[in-house]
Structures are given as C-alpha cells and as structure tokens.
C-alpha cells in the first residue's frame, strides 16, 4: 500500500483535492477556447492555402486534399483516434490505479504539442495537422481520467456542486486567456507583430497555460487504488487494461439504466454541441453579423457560462440535478425556437440569445457529468467516463449530420437550426423515463438526498 492510500478522507482533505481538481478545468480550457473555437481552424487553412501556391490541392500522405477541407479532415482523424484511445486510457487508469500520473502524462503531451504550434508557419500544414491530432487526442484522454476523480473527491451529495464549480472555473480561465489573445490579435499592429505571429503566440501560450496550471492538480490529487511498486511491468499493465476494458463492455448490459443514461446524454448533447458549433456560422450566413460581433459574443458566453454553471449547480442542491437538467433542456428548446425568429442584422438580439445559451450551457454539461458519476460501479470510473466522452464525440457526428441534411434539403439556415429541437425533446423524454435512484442502487452507490 502506498502512502497516498492511508491518508484519512476528512472533509478538509476532500476540499483540498476539490480545489486542486478545479484547476485542471482552468488549465485545459485554454485548448478548446483559444485553439479549437477561435484560432486554429482559420490559421491552419491559411497555412494549407499558402502551401498550395494557387493549386487546387495539397498533398496529405499521398492524397490530394483541398486546402479548405484540410482542417475538417484533421478534426475527423483526431476524433477517430480519441474514440480508440479514450477507453484504453480509462481502462489503464482503473487497472493500474495510477490516475494522477496518467492524467499528467496525457496533459503534458497535449500541452507540449500545443506549445509547438509556434513552429507552424511557412506552409507547414502537415506539422500543424500532426500537432493538432496529438494535442486533441491527448486532451480527450486526460479529460477522461480527470472526470474519473469526481466520485473519489466528493460525496454523493457534494457532487453536483463540485462538478458545476469545476466547469464554471474552466469557463472563467478559458475566457480570461481568450480575452488576452483577442486583444493581441485585434491590436497586433500596436504590439509590433504580424497577424500570423499573433495567432502563433496565442496558440503557443495556450499550451503554456495548460501545462503550467496542470501542476496544481497534480500536487493536490491522490491515487487511491495504486498497485504496489513493481507489481506489473508496463506490458502486463497494458494487457491487463485491455482485458479489463473487455470485461467492462460485456458487463455494461448488467446496468441497463446506466446505458440508458448514456443514450439520453448522447442525444441531448447532440443538440448542445451542434448549437454551440453552428452559432458562429448562423450569425455570419443567416444574420449577417460582423466578425467583431461574433468575437465579442464568444467572449461574453465564456464569462456568463461561468455564472450559469454555478447557478445551475446551486439550483441542483435544492431541486435535484435531474430536474434541473430537464428544465435546462426545455430552455434549450426555447432558445432554438427563438433563434429561428432572430431578425437579420440585429446584434442585440444575438447577444441576448448568446446570454441565454451561456446560462444553460455550462450547467447542462456539468450536471450531466455529476449525474453520470452516481451510476458508475466503484472502481470503473475512468472506463465509464471514457464511454461517456465517446458519447460526446458521437454527438459531433449525429448533430452535424442532421443539420447538414436539413440544409441539404431546404437550403435554409433557419430551418437547419430549428431541426435541432428534436434532440432536446427526445433527450428530455429518455431522461425522464430513467429511474435514477434505481440505477444508482444497481451500481452499488448511495442515493443522494436530492437527485
């Protein structure tokens, strides 16, 4: 038994770990906000166009790829690798008990790759694509293990609050860094740097932020089921992890209500993720709003989502997380309905809609994470959270396909956005049908006072 295992689980020790755990959300949120949401896609596309030198295609591993399509293919390749690696990372973390070390390994692989975006210039689109695949895959693997700490560092009744505070803290950290990066980008001339250098500085500093603040959770979090030193070789640990993953997938049928929650989450999270990813395009193509308005809206959403996550987390302590999530899904239906009627050119209406989205966005995701923690069998946290995150990646495909089909058939962005209502309605119905107390007891966990 290691020294970490004999530390008493006092409320003070839990709170210390919880505060450290929050800081990983603060640290890694630099990647989805600065890298994914704002800067990398347009920049990497421009790098590919520069490398094409007027030709219609660039070479990618022997295939002719249009520069405009390059980033989308890179994102797709990263998503496939994430789906493969996440359950392996989860099984390895649960099997070895070395959660903290594995989270740190993946976090620093991702942060290091992000830092290396500084070298992506002068037509190095292949380097940029490879770094993104590494960073995005490592981000997902570390996040699986990070989530799996939630049931260990909080009691059943604390979990909604802890999850919401972590999510809110992430929005705050990501928003603060993004504000600095947008100031650098928009005022690059006054800082004496080119636009391209400003983007590279933003991308690289996101890696520094991610890696630097990851030190805090690694100092605070503790392993609880670590094997004795030298008990297994690395090869034996990996082989054992694969066997454990196979058993977990086979045993999932013993927990049909847990599986039902995963399906409900996949469906309503389809709507959440697609609305988030489609908002900027909708503002541009359908509402005719400027890039300045869209950037300002992104910043506003980051900071309002911080308060939204805390608000819904507080409401969950009084009403129960399931009820709050179901009411949030009703709010999503209203938001999508209002988006259909937004007048063209109205920045005020778009900001009001963004404010509403921000209020329910963080809380929906944070409370879903804490709800899922209750229906996981003890000792399988990382594996089950890998399945949870795979559901999240699946939503990228399903939501985008539905939206694309609606646009293909109607050529209307307004009809496209309204088509997403089905995800919130169906997700609401499936979640309502799940007997969560029964699911929690089936997993062998205590039922919180309010769920």
8 A C-beta contact, residue 286 and residue 414: yes
Q: What is the pLDDT of residue 46?
A: 87
Please return the burial class of 190, using the count of CB atoms within 10 Å of its CB with bins 0-12, 13-18 and 19+: exposed
Q: What does 178-216 look like in DSSP terms, one character per residue?
A: HHHHHHHHHTHHHHT--HHHHHHHHHHHHHHHHHHHHHH
The predicted-structure confidence for 194-210, as pLDDT tens digits, reads as follows 989 999 999 999 999 99
| pLDDT at residue 431 greater than cutoff 80 | yes
Largest separation between any pair of C-alpha atoms in the chain = 65
Q: Residue 233 — pLDDT band, cuts 50, 70, 90?
A: low
8 A C-beta contact, residue 276 and residue 360: no
Strands 63-65 and 58-60: antiparallel
| Whole-number Å distance between alpha carbons of 181 and 205 | 9
| pLDDT at residue 190 greater than cutoff 90 | yes
Reference 251, options 431, 434, 444; nearest CA is: 444
| Whole-number Å distance between alpha carbons of 175 and 55 | 38
Mean pLDDT on 262-272: 87
Residues facing residue 65 across a β-bridge: 58
| Whole-number Å distance between alpha carbons of 398 and 271 | 9
**174 Cβ contact list (under 8 Å, min separation 6):** 26, 29, 30, 32, 33, 34, 302
Q: Residue 383 — pLDDT band, cuts 50, 70, 90?
A: confident
8 A C-beta contact, residue 118 and residue 340: no
Q: What is the pLDDT of residue 106?
A: 97
Mean pLDDT on 397-410: 72
Domains in the chain with CATH codes: 1-224+232-253 (1.20.1250.20), 254-450 (1.20.1250.20)
Q: Residue 5 — pLDDT band, cuts 50, 70, 90?
A: very low
| pLDDT at residue 446 greater than cutoff 90 | no
Q: What is the pLDDT of residue 228?
A: 45
Phi, psi values for residue 60, rounded to 5°: -130, 100
The predicted-structure confidence for 9-46, as pLDDT tens digits, reads as follows 788 888 999 999 999 999 999 998 889 878 888 888 88
In the numeric block, the tokens 């990382």 are attached to 382
The predicted-structure confidence for 60-86, as pLDDT tens digits, reads as follows 888 888 887 788 788 778 878 888 888
Q: Which of 168-172, 215-219, 258-262 has the highest mean pLDDT?
A: 215-219
| pLDDT at residue 174 greater than cutoff 80 | yes
| Whole-number Å distance between alpha carbons of 323 and 27 | 30
The predicted-structure confidence for 84-128, as pLDDT tens digits, reads as follows 888 888 888 887 888 999 999 999 999 999 999 999 998 899 999
Q: What is the pLDDT of residue 232?
A: 61
8 A C-beta contact, residue 168 and residue 313: yes
Q: What does 39-58 look like in DSSP terms, one character per residue?
A: IHHHHHHHHHHHHHTT-S-E
Q: Residue 235 — pLDDT band, cuts 50, 70, 90?
A: low
**CA angle, corner 446, sides to 442 and 447, nearest 5?**
85
8 A C-beta contact, residue 435 and residue 305: no
Mean pLDDT of the chain: 86
Mean pLDDT on 388-412: 70
In percent, the amount of the chain with pLDDT more than 70 equals: 90
DSSP code of 285?
I
| pLDDT at residue 288 greater than cutoff 90 | no
Phi, psi values for residue 432, rounded to 5°: -65, -30
8 A C-beta contact, residue 140 and residue 86: yes
In percent, the amount of the chain with pLDDT more than 90 equals: 39
The predicted-structure confidence for 314-362, as pLDDT tens digits, reads as follows 898 889 899 999 999 999 999 999 999 999 999 999 999 999 999 998 7
Q: What is the pLDDT of residue 6?
A: 44
Global pTM value: 0.79
């Amino acid at each position: 038994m290691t020294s970490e295992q004999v530390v008493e689980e006092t409320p003070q020790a839990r709170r210390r770990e919880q505060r450290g755990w929050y800081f990983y959300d603060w640290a890694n949120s630099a990647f989805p906000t600065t890298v994914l949401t704002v800067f990398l896609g347009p920049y990497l596309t421009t790098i590919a166009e520069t490398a094409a030198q007027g030709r219609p295609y660039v070479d990618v591993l022997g295939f002719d790829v249009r520069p405009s399509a390059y980033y989308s293919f890179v994102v797709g390749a990263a998503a496939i690798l994430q789906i493969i690696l996440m359950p392996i990372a989860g099984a390895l973390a649960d099997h070895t008990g070395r959660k903290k070390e594995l989270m740190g390994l993946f976090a620093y692989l991702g942060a290091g790759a992000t830092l290396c975006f500084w070298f992506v210039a002068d037509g190095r689109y292949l380097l940029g694509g490879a770094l993104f695949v590494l960073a995005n895959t490592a981000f997902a693997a570390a996040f699986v293990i990070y989530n799996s700490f939630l049931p260990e560092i909080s009691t059943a009744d604390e979990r909604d609050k802890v999850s919401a505070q972590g999510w809110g803290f992430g929005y705050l950290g990501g928003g603060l860094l993004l504000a600095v990066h947008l100031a650098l980008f928009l005022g690059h001339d006054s800082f004496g740097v080119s636009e391209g250098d400003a983007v590279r500085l933003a991308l690289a500093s996101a890696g520094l932020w991610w890696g630097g603040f990851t030190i805090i959770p690694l100092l605070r979090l503790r392993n609880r089921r670590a094997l004795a030193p030298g008990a297994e070789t690395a090869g034996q640990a990996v082989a054992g992890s694969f066997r454990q993953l196979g058993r977990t997938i086979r045993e999932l049928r013993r927990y049909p209500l847990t599986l039902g929650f995963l399906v409900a989450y996949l469906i309503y999270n389809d709507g959440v993720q697609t609305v988030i990813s489609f908002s900027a395009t909708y503002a541009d193509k359908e509402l005719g709003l400027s890039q300045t308005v869209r950037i300002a809206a992104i910043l506003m959403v980051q900071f309002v989502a911080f308060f939204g996550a805390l608000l819904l987390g507080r409401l969950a302590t009084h009403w129960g997380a399931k009820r709050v999530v179901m009411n949030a899904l009703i709010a999503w239906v209203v938001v999508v309905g209002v988006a259909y009627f937004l007048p063209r050119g109205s920045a005020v209406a778009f900001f009001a809609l963004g404010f509403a989205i921000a209020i329910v966005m963080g809380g929906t995701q944070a409370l879903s994470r804490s709800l899922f923690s209750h229906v996981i069998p003890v000792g399988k946290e990382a594996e089950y959270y890998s399945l949870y995150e795979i559901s999240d990646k699946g939503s990228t495909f399903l939501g985008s396909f539905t939206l694309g089909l609606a646009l293909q058939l109607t050529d209307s962005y307004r009809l496209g956005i309204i088509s997403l209502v089905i995800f919130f309605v169906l997700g609401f119905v499936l979640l309502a049908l799940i007997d969560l107390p029964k699911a929690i007891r089936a997993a062998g966990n205590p039922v919180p006072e309010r769920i």
